[in-house]
Structure 1
Amino acid sequence: MKYIYLFLLGLNCSFGVAQNDVAKKEIDSLYKEDQFYASITYNVLHHVPDDLAQSGFSLGFHAGFIKDMPVNKRRTVAIGIGLGYSTNSFNQNLLINKNSDNTFEYEIVDEDDFTKNKFSNHLIELPIEFRWRTSTATDYSFWRLYAGFKLGYMLLNNTKYSGDLGNIKYSNIDVFNKFQYGLTLSAGYNTWNFCVYYGLNPIFKEASLSDNTTREMTDIKLGLIFYIL
């Protein structure tokens, strides 16, 4: 009986050690951070004509997956490469209309002459980030600073006008640059993180206004971004 008791005691100790090893292995596992994201932004047009003005809220919604690849032993520095979806609207007073020769013209109109005037788009995006954070294997509330570059391909676009000229709508017109790209930055602590996108190339292919001036209009997006493991 004595030997049986010693055997069971030894078996229990071995099992306890094995459990501790498993727990230790889980804590020390090669964890990754922030692989899913969702954000909402306020969209601002940049490099605009003097008389162009935005009205109401121009919103953007963005979501996707980023592959987190730590590059240091503490796993506080990483490279992220992902795939995402983005939809954006821009409410403003730049009317996009078709001429008799089926070409498009751009004209700034008085805000009192319409109730709605906007263009919107849907993009597939490729974000690339350099990531720094203060996370550990057991701490899920940490500071983060992610800077990078985002390339987008426009799948769909729409323009809508309702006003003195009637209702004017166009879809998938060839006046927008299909490829959009810019710099990104997100920073914050735990749940609350601010994000910025600064567009580097024009939204329109050739934004020639009625006075024959050419403007290279870009966009800036400011908002909140939320990360999920």
Structure 2
Amino acid sequence: MKFLKLLPIFLLLSFQGLAQPNGKDSSLVSRHRPGIFWFYTGFRPAKPGKLRKYDRLILDVTYNQLLSTGGGVKANPWRSFGCNVNTMWDVPLNNGNTFSLGIGFAYKYQKTGPKGLFFADSTNSFTHYFPDSSYSDYRKNTFGNHIIALPVELRFRTRKWEHFKVHLGGSIGYRLQTFQKLWPEKKHAEKYRDLPDQNRLVYGVHMRIGIRNWALFADYTLAPQFKSSKSDKISALAFGVSLSVF
């Protein structure tokens, strides 16, 4: 993915914000926009006393896992990475902006490499997961989702630019597409989007905990992957690293 190729550049540039320009007081560093648009306030430094806004563009790199009622779904870890892009409004709820509300829009790319396949039943009305079934016929396979969502979160942080932060939130969204991609032996990839009972409604909870523009991230999708009562109960768990670039 192009995003993953560009990630090292984002990570390298973000470290620029660790320095204090010209030895100035650390409480004023945010006026000089260190890192990748961190604390960006326009073409001029922020006015003294103006509340800083935080975490308005957040990139998550995630490791994804499918969970079922019988436990986790075995997967190839190297094919189970995804990403999220979050654009957020930071709404201060107190004078120091140590407590705020985050509201925004997110795109989620969830991908796993299960060691098994999803099949529709003979009536094409519900979906079953068969571990390792017919897997020998394929070199590899992936399963994933494209999702858009509206996240809302409560944000707690300490004062000054090198703050410690905790975000607790949830989201509700729409599953644009569920896909299963297979690579048969000596053939090109085949992509399937026709599983019969895809659950379009997506909702879940998430958390970030970190320092300044870095955080650890976890997201649990409460909504089942398939909506039929006869389908296997599959949900998604994601955890990884977040980088706030704006």
TM-score range with shorter-chain normalisation? 0.7 to 0.9
Q: Pick the aligned partner of 2:157 from 133, 137, 157.
A: 133
What residue number does 2:62 align with?
41
Structure 2 counterpart of 1:227, which letter? Answer: S
TM-score of the pair, normalised by structure 2: 0.70
What residue number does 1:118 align with?
142
Q: Deviations over 1:139-162 (max 9, x none)?
A: 2x2111000101121112211233
SS in 2 for 1:29: coil
What residue number does 1:217 align with?
234
SS in 2 for 1:33: coil
Question: Unaligned 5+ residue runs, structure 2?
Answer: 1-43
CA 1:109–1:103: 2 relative to 1, 3 Å: same
> Does the CA-based 8 Å contact 1:129-1:148 persist in structure 2?
yes
Question: Unaligned 5+ residue runs, structure 1?
Answer: 1-22, 209-213
> Does the CA-based 8 Å contact 2:126-2:196 persist in structure 1?
no
> Does the CA-based 8 Å contact 2:137-2:184 persist in structure 1?
yes
- Which aligned segments of 4 or more residues in structure 1 are displaced greater than 6 angstroms? none
* Structure in which a larger fraction of residues adopt strand: 1
CA 1:51–1:112: 2 relative to 1, 3 Å: farther
SS in 1 for 2:47: helix
> Does the CA-based 8 Å contact 1:52-1:108 persist in structure 2?
no
What residue number does 1:226 align with?
243
Q: Once the 2 structures are TM-superposed, how far is the Cα of residue 49 of structure 1 from its aligned partner?
A: 3.5
Structure 1 counterpart of 2:48, which letter? Answer: I
**Rounded Cα–Cα distance in structure 2 between residues aligned with 1:119 and 1:102:** 19
Q: Percent identity?
A: 27
What residue number does 1:202 align with?
224
**Rounded Cα–Cα distance in structure 1 between residues aligned with 2:106 and 2:129:** 33
What residue number does 1:153 align with?
174
TM-score of the pair, normalised by structure 1: 0.75
**Rounded Cα–Cα distance in structure 2 between residues aligned with 1:105 and 1:67:** 38
Q: Pick the aligned partner of 2:204 from 178, 182, 186.
A: 182
> Does the CA-based 8 Å contact 2:92-2:100 persist in structure 1?
yes
Q: Highest Rg: 1 or 2?
A: 1
CA RMSD of aligned residues (A): 2.8
Count of residue pairs brought into register by the alignment: 198
